[in-house]
Structure 1
Amino acid sequence: MTNTKGRVLYLATVYTHLAAFHLPFMQLLHGKGYEVHAAASSDQGRKKEVEAIGVRCWEIPFSRSPYSLKNWRAFRELGRLLEYYRFDLIHVHTPVASFLGRYLARATGQRPVLYTAHGFHFYQGASLRNWLLYYPAERLAARWTDGLIVMNREDYDSAIKMGFRPGENLFYVHGVGVDVDKFNSIVSSRSLRDKLGLKADDIVITCIAELIPRKNHLFLLKAWSRLTKKICSAHLLLVGDGVLRQALECWVNGKSVSRVHFLGFRRDIPQLVQEANIVVLVSRHEGLPRSLMEAMAAGKPVVASNVRGNRDLVDHGRTGFLVELGDVEGLAGYLELLARDENLRLALGRAGREKIGDYSLDKVLAEMDAVYSRYLPS
């Protein structure tokens, strides 16, 4: 640790999470002279992206499922890491890793520990099982948490009820940040439309989300099957991969739903967003979805489910529309309204771009820098 101010450990269940959301914050601390470490499970090869910015990475075989026996092995290996290294700050993320990490940090006498809740798994509308499992776990782990960072108002209120104190050990930040300039400056090249054989005036509705149950794609597809009967120039782009891809493709083929394009995992998200006319996200629950922030930064109108996180971003009727879960007719109606009215799309897009300035990466970096400064040695 020669010539460094100290050691910081980032902990998450999988490296995909760290690579997708936390590289700028690791770079922030690395640039300030801290030796940055990361510990997670390699799930999709994104560990190399974290290593590429100078972070020392450790393989800890977490499972996302709290019921998996793999987490016992992860518990032992993380314990050995914390016994060998002393960290000046441990920043934990994601439910399984954050619970085990906070317990082991306290057991090995390491602190301070920061926890970013990217969306508590207990929330308004969550299942009884979620409340019985995650709420008591978070109440217990609160005593091992020196600082809690939240990114939506519902979680902020829940944290206060758990005993966290605003400004002392509870901090609200505007998500993980979005590079507003990157999404605002790209000029559509029409390359994607050309590859898909779309016309210049076709309406492109894009959903960027992992194909997993939480993202609720079947709800979207049911609404889409109605919309295709009314607007023959609209195309639905599903960007992302996941365990439900085959089942969703079978549903589309079985119902003969037209103009649905499964694009899989992509790295050209700014270009895809710029070529869209409308962006949609109908998750069952969210923390603070970056796909909506990116769409708003690009000046696109959004349609989203009326759930925590989404409603922090979307002002109904001003920057987009919120629809209740299960309201297939309502979802199809909002998509049709936007598809038919270009002026409305432009107006909502402008308002969304204005609002998302508060969620820019520069501002979030400043917010996080202020939080880190409270806990790191000066």
Structure 2
Amino acid sequence: MIAQEPRILIVTDKCDLSETQWILGLHEAGARVAVACNPAGRYFGDLDAAGIVRARIALTGRFDKTGTRQIQQVIDDERIDVMHCFNPRALACGLRAARGRKVAIAAYRGVIGNIDYLNPESWITFLHPRLNRIVCVSDAVKRYFLGLSFLWMRLPERKVVRIYKGHKLEWYEGPPADLSAFGFPQDAFVFCCTGRDRPGKGFRTLIEAMDHIPDDMPVYLLLVGKLDENAELTDRIRASRHADRIKLAGFRTDAPQVAAACDAMVLPSESEGLPRVVIEAMAYERPVVVTEAGGMPELVDDGVEGYVVPVRNAKALADAFIRLASDRDAATAMGQRGRERIGREFTNEATVRETRVLYQDMLDELSL
């Protein structure tokens, strides 16, 4: 039982579903939560209906003076004890807004990289000496921060914590998407890959993996995202010996349902925090093939919920595809175990519980 509830301000932008439910879960559990967020967000109405929105802000950068004043006003009006900033813009503005005020500050981090002691921008965000906690989405992100160093400078271990971004299985019970427009044959084993067109996502390795698939093995790929705008990638697809088996779905607002309509999910990334698309596919009972990058091995045990392969290894990817496509019963069982694991280890309830403990710890330190 928490004796004294801290007054919390969460500063974010356009919340996704899990982040929105994280915030609402805190509110419903009795936490004294105020929110400053972007009214253009898809789930803003849910936060507003809960009566916890105190400022409507759409930060334009890390030096947004208007947004900083709005955050500062909420800190003063609500007598905030702990501020939790969910993105770098919010963090930079929030840190300035908290000047001269007795407020403990936490920052959420969902990716690996781009923080450095020699980078001035890092000192106005995650390396700022005023920052009390960095809340990492995975153990991999936590290890990254604890591994940062320059001369005598390192982050103290107590400053970096891991809290998984939780989900609820009932979010993933909608009907699968209709894939008939893509013309997959009846015996096709379709792997879905959802991702942004960015370096390090492993699409080159993925296309190369298709060259290792035997002609008599009906493995197909469905790529979801704005990948059709990447000329180099589309050229590689055309040059593939199985070019006819690789389909581009473009940007989709129903990406989780597209994954549910496929037989398996693949994410060949070279760096990841804790990818939502993998969690979504697992929640839809789809086996997954992922690389050893970042937090993905925290989601998937090799051979249990899917397969974990080395980064940039096209042959290993292809072998995993073949194993899954060759034994559909085993693939189905892996998918079932994946859903069970999400429902057991990556729940919204655990996220809320661990976050409340974090806030209490921060309040206790503030009182010292």
Same fold by TM-score greater than 0.5: yes
CA distance in 2, matches of 1:321, 1:270: 20
Counterparts of 1:246-325 in structure 2 under 5 Å? 246-253=231-238, 255=240, 257-325=243-311
1:158 shift after superposition: 4.7
Is contact 2:10–2:33 with CA below 8 Å preserved after alignment? no
Is contact 1:92–1:101 with CA below 8 Å preserved after alignment? no
Is contact 1:120–1:287 with CA below 8 Å preserved after alignment? yes
Matched residue type, 2:86: H
1:48 shift after superposition: 4.9
How many pairs were matched up? 342
1:352 shift after superposition: 2.4
Is contact 2:197–2:230 with CA below 8 Å preserved after alignment? yes
1:259/1:160 Cα in 2 relative to 1: closer, same or farther (>3 Å)?
closer
Aligned to 1:171: 161
Is contact 2:287–2:332 with CA below 8 Å preserved after alignment? yes
Q: Which has the higher helix share?
A: 1
Q: Work out whether 1:109 is the aligned partner of 2:113.
A: no
CA distance in 1, matches of 2:337, 2:31: 39
Matched residue type, 1:365: V
**What secondary structure is seen at the aligned counterpart in 1 of 2:192?**
strand
Q: Work out whether 1:50 is the aligned partner of 2:44.
A: yes
Cα shift readout 1:228-276 (whole Å, capped 9, x = no counterpart)? x535633211122369545433442355722222223323344323222
1:300/1:288 Cα in 2 relative to 1: closer, same or farther (>3 Å)?
same
Bigger drift between 102-111 and 292-301 goes to: 102-111
1:110 shift after superposition: 5.2
2:21 to 16, 21, 24: 24
Percent identity, please.
20
**What secondary structure is seen at the aligned counterpart in 2 of 1:53?**
helix
**What secondary structure is seen at the aligned counterpart in 1 of 2:323?**
helix
**What secondary structure is seen at the aligned counterpart in 1 of 2:204?**
helix
Q: Please report the TM-score for the alignment, with normalisation by the length of structure 1.
A: 0.76
1:277/1:351 Cα in 2 relative to 1: closer, same or farther (>3 Å)?
same
**What secondary structure is seen at the aligned counterpart in 2 of 1:10?**
strand
CA distance in 2, matches of 1:159, 1:120: 8
1:131/1:223 Cα in 2 relative to 1: closer, same or farther (>3 Å)?
farther
User: RMSD value over aligned CA atoms?
Assistant: 3.4
Aligned to 2:337: 351
CA distance in 1, matches of 2:117, 2:291: 21
Is contact 2:270–2:312 with CA below 8 Å preserved after alignment? no
Counterparts of 1:89-238 in structure 2 under 5 Å? 89-98=82-91, 100-101=92-93, 103-109=95-101, 111-121=103-113, 132-133=118-119, 137=123, 141=127, 143-159=129-145, 162-166=154-158, 169-173=159-163, 175-183=164-172, 185-186=173-174, 188=176, 192-227=178-213, 230-231=215-216, 233-238=218-223
Structure 2: state its 5+ residue gaps: 148-153
**What secondary structure is seen at the aligned counterpart in 2 of 1:280?**
strand
CA distance in 2, matches of 1:293, 1:221: 23
Cα shift readout 1:260-304 (whole Å, capped 9, x = no counterpart)? 222233233443232221110111211111111222222222111
1:39/1:134 Cα in 2 relative to 1: closer, same or farther (>3 Å)?
farther
Matched residue type, 1:28: G
Matched residue type, 2:47: I
CA distance in 1, matches of 2:140, 2:117: 15
1:236/1:132 Cα in 2 relative to 1: closer, same or farther (>3 Å)?
farther
Bigger drift between 112-121 and 368-377 goes to: 368-377
Q: Please report the TM-score for the alignment, with normalisation by the length of structure 2.
A: 0.78
Structure 1: state its 5+ residue gaps: 63-70, 123-128
CA distance in 2, matches of 1:199, 1:243: 22
1:144/1:49 Cα in 2 relative to 1: closer, same or farther (>3 Å)?
same
**What secondary structure is seen at the aligned counterpart in 1 of 2:293?**
coil
